[in-house]
Structure 1
Amino acid sequence: MAKTALSKYQRLEAAGLWRADAEAQRIDVIVSVGEATLTITDMRERVQAHWSIAAIARANPGQTPAIYHPDGDPGETLELPQNETDMIAAIETLRNAIARQRPRPGRLRLYGVLASVLAVLLMGLFWLPGAARDHALRVVPAVKRAEIGQALITHLQRATGPACRAQGGNAALAALARRLPPRTGGVRFMMVRSGVEDTLRLPGGTVMINADLVEDHDEPDVVAGHIIAAYLRAEARDPLHRLLTDGGAMASLRLLATGQLTDDTLRAHAETLLKSPPNPPPDAALLEGFAHWQVRMAPYAYARDITGETVLSLIEADPFARGAEPPPPILSDADWLRLQGICGG
């Protein structure tokens, strides 16, 4: 911009008055625009001064006659009369063009501060919640997870009702837990009448089971299959991970700082769990899980879809289909009968 403006005015000349310092007499001069300079020549064509256009300051902006001086040296002046409008306009245009190209430290500092604030906000918005949650998942001990799970059960039971405890039922649940131990950690099965879609694994290892899975089916393979599905979902995503994600950064930070979660956080998460039934794990994961725990796939698949149409791939891939060696029993007949009557049905 400055170079373009300079070429426009390179042949421009004007008459003015110049003095070398504050004590000197003013003399008549001719002012011309040169290569990045103003050249000041007396009437005998002797050069009196070269001023850098980038270092020219105006002593009386907006007034006439226009008085200029080198930046930092107000004693040396150049006075241009009112009728030299072209030269005055040229000098002002060049000064403004150069000023626009100069760095503005104040503005740069402002931009720097704004960028820093924005970086902090973005870090707080995107990085901090995940970092705090992931750290909490690494350091929260199993005992604290079980405590959180028990507190969550208190809120869930407002919808599910109390756990079923008919005589012999708990022993049958314990036998089922021995037959289907999780790959990591401990487990406790809890049978409830309603609220839970099928099975739900909580932080600490508790698995809530809907009583329909034992009351409405003739084989324990169905409830076993849904327990396996709960295990697989928890392996894919830690139940505490989901709770802390729902609770936000403050829940993770509070847990790290105090070892506690608020009732509001637990209540909101319980409502989310009850309103959002979990999806079945992917077929590949199910097939691997049923093979690991040695449970027949077909009864579970038909319980999901009695027609078998949407679960045909699972039925056909059952590792214990007819003709294959049967898996170990899920429960004894006596324990299965006790389990079916655990809710007094």
Structure 2
Amino acid sequence: MAKTALTKYQKLECSGLWRESVQSQRREVVANLGMTSLILSDPKCEVALAHWSLPAVKRLNPGEMPALFAPDASDGETLEIDDNEMITALQTVHSAISAARPHPGRLRNSFFGIIAFGVLAIGALWLPDALEKHTASFLPRSTRQAIGQEALADLTRLTGQPCSAKSGLAALEKLSERLFGPDSGVKIIILRTGLARAQSLPGRMIVLPESLLAEQDGPEAAAGFALVARISAEMTDPMIPLLDHAGISATFRLLTTGTLPETAIAGYAETLIAAPLNLPADSILLSRFEMVGLATSPYANAHDPSGETTADLIEGDPFGNVIPPALLPDGDWVSLQDICSQ
């Protein structure tokens, strides 16, 4: 019954007024009903402010409007909402969970048997892949960026700090805007050593090895690798393999509290680098490269100099017979090549 109620109202959200404690002022939040928790977020920056476990949520003023909800054992923490659909959803879920609880008077063994069955049922429904996907789908951009920065910090154990020459960073920002648009939020990062190919990190970060700049005559190959990495990230959320590395316990903590344990990402760099390459289909690449005005041949030749695995990208290059628009002015390309000089 609980599963049916949760499924019916999955991803329901509304605005509300949240008070963190008796002494706190009320503030506007967005309440998002997930499968296991009610997530309260700042509507301006999408930062998660609180996670309430659904079984703990109770209504303080039945029959009155606006409805006032609170978690068990709260220190004056409340949520005031007047959205009828959300109110009905919370009450339906609470009733379903209450009905599933054992009634007083049953044997202790039966009580523990129900708990064990519930744990096994949750494990069968959620763990591990579904829990990871569900958690990733609810993370606000700010949390993704913070986790991505932690993953980058772990990666720099092997690669050294990101290249940071000022003029090179400016050129890199221009390249990102040229490929993904000025409001995409995609950040390209260049690393000196330890990286053989482009990688995507949570928070729309793409890391590229310096060799893609040093060994090329122009920015087209590096741009191609960055574009392919972004397309791959759109198809497979880079948060998923990171949560798989962190483990079930850490993933559940992220879902319920909005944070990962301090050690959850440790060692992820080795896992990331060793992961098998999973490229999008050539037809997808040809379409996207043409869309952004980028030739596929420079990327294809750099990816496989033999041309055996990239023949379709070379033969089907949308700019094989014409010159595509310039990615960067010559001065910016020189600056980009020198990005690791400091």
Task: Please say whether Structure 1 and Structure 2 have the same fold, judged by a TM-score greater than 0.5.
Answer: yes
Contact 1:130 1:249 in 2 (8 A): no
Instruction: Indicate which of 313, 329, 342 corresponds to 1:332.
Output: 329
Change (3 A) 1:118 1:237: same
Q: CA deviation at 1:170?
A: 0.7
Q: CA deviation at 1:258?
A: 2.0
Tell me the equivalent position of 1:209: 208
Structure 1 stretches of 4+ moved >6 Å:
113-116
**Do structure 1's residue 194 and structure 2's residue 193 form an aligned pair?**
yes
CA offsets 1:305-345 (integer angstroms, 9 cap, x no match): 223233111111111102x3x32211111000111111129
Tell me the amino acid that sits aligned with residue 181 of structure 1.
F
CA offsets 1:196-234 (integer angstroms, 9 cap, x no match): 222111111111110000100112110011001101110
Q: In structure 1, what is the Cα distance between the partners aligned to 2:268 and 2:125?
A: 21
CA offsets 1:93-145 (integer angstroms, 9 cap, x no match): xxxxxxxxxxxxxxxxx9xx989956742541452434432332232110111
Tell me the amino acid that sits aligned with residue 341 of structure 2.
G
Tell me the amino acid that sits aligned with residue 249 of structure 1.
I
Q: CA deviation at 1:182?
A: 6.4
Tell me the equivalent position of 1:239: 238
Change (3 A) 1:262 1:197: farther
3-state DSSP of counterpart to 1:190: strand
Tell me the equivalent position of 2:165: 166
3-state DSSP of counterpart to 2:267: helix
Tell me the amino acid that sits aligned with residue 213 of structure 2.
V
Q: In structure 1, what is the Cα distance between the partners aligned to 2:139 and 2:306?
A: 44
Contact 1:129 1:252 in 2 (8 A): no
Change (3 A) 1:198 1:131: closer
Moved more, 191-200 or 168-177: 191-200
**Do structure 1's residue 344 and structure 2's residue 341 form an aligned pair?**
yes
Q: In structure 2, what is the Cα distance between the partners aligned to 1:253 and 1:208?
A: 28
Tell me the equivalent position of 2:224: 225
Tell me the amino acid that sits aligned with residue 144 of structure 1.
T
**Do structure 1's residue 149 and structure 2's residue 148 form an aligned pair?**
yes
Contact 2:154 2:268 in 1 (8 A): no
Contact 1:233 1:281 in 2 (8 A): yes
Q: Calculate the aligned-residue CA RMSD, in Å.
A: 2.7
Tell me the amino acid that sits aligned with residue 338 of structure 2.
G
Q: CA deviation at 1:298?
A: 0.8
Change (3 A) 1:185 1:171: closer
Tell me the equivalent position of 2:262: 263
TM-score, normalised by the number of residues in structure 1: 0.62
Q: CA deviation at 1:153?
A: 1.0
**Do structure 1's residue 180 and structure 2's residue 173 form an aligned pair?**
no
CA offsets 1:47-101 (integer angstroms, 9 cap, x no match): xxxxxxxxxxxxxxxxxxxxxxxxxxxxxxxxxxxxxxxxxxxxxxxxxxxxxxx
Q: In structure 2, what is the Cα distance between the partners aligned to 1:185 and 1:278?
A: 25
Change (3 A) 1:173 1:183: closer
Contact 1:197 1:277 in 2 (8 A): no
Tell me the amino acid that sits aligned with residue 302 of structure 2.
A
Tell me the amino acid that sits aligned with residue 274 of structure 2.
K
Tell me the equivalent position of 1:320: 319
Contact 1:173 1:189 in 2 (8 A): yes
TM-score, normalised by the number of residues in structure 2: 0.62
3-state DSSP of counterpart to 1:191: strand
Moved more, 158-167 or 247-256: 247-256
Q: In structure 1, what is the Cα distance between the partners aligned to 2:137 and 2:275?
A: 26
1:62-141, aligned counterparts within 5 Å?
117=116, 120-121=119-120, 123-125=122-124, 127-141=126-140
Q: In structure 2, what is the Cα distance between the partners aligned to 1:305 and 1:269?
A: 27
Q: How many residues align?
A: 234
Tell me the equivalent position of 1:288: 287
Q: List alignment gaps of at least 5 residues for structure 2.
A: 1-108
Q: In structure 2, what is the Cα distance between the partners aligned to 1:292 and 1:163?
A: 29
Q: CA deviation at 1:193?
A: 0.7
Tell me the amino acid that sits aligned with residue 199 of structure 2.
L
3-state DSSP of counterpart to 2:217: coil
Contact 1:290 1:297 in 2 (8 A): yes
Contact 2:188 2:226 in 1 (8 A): no
Q: In structure 2, what is the Cα distance between the partners aligned to 1:222 and 1:310?
A: 16
Q: List alignment gaps of at least 5 residues for structure 1.
A: 1-109
Contact 1:182 1:231 in 2 (8 A): no
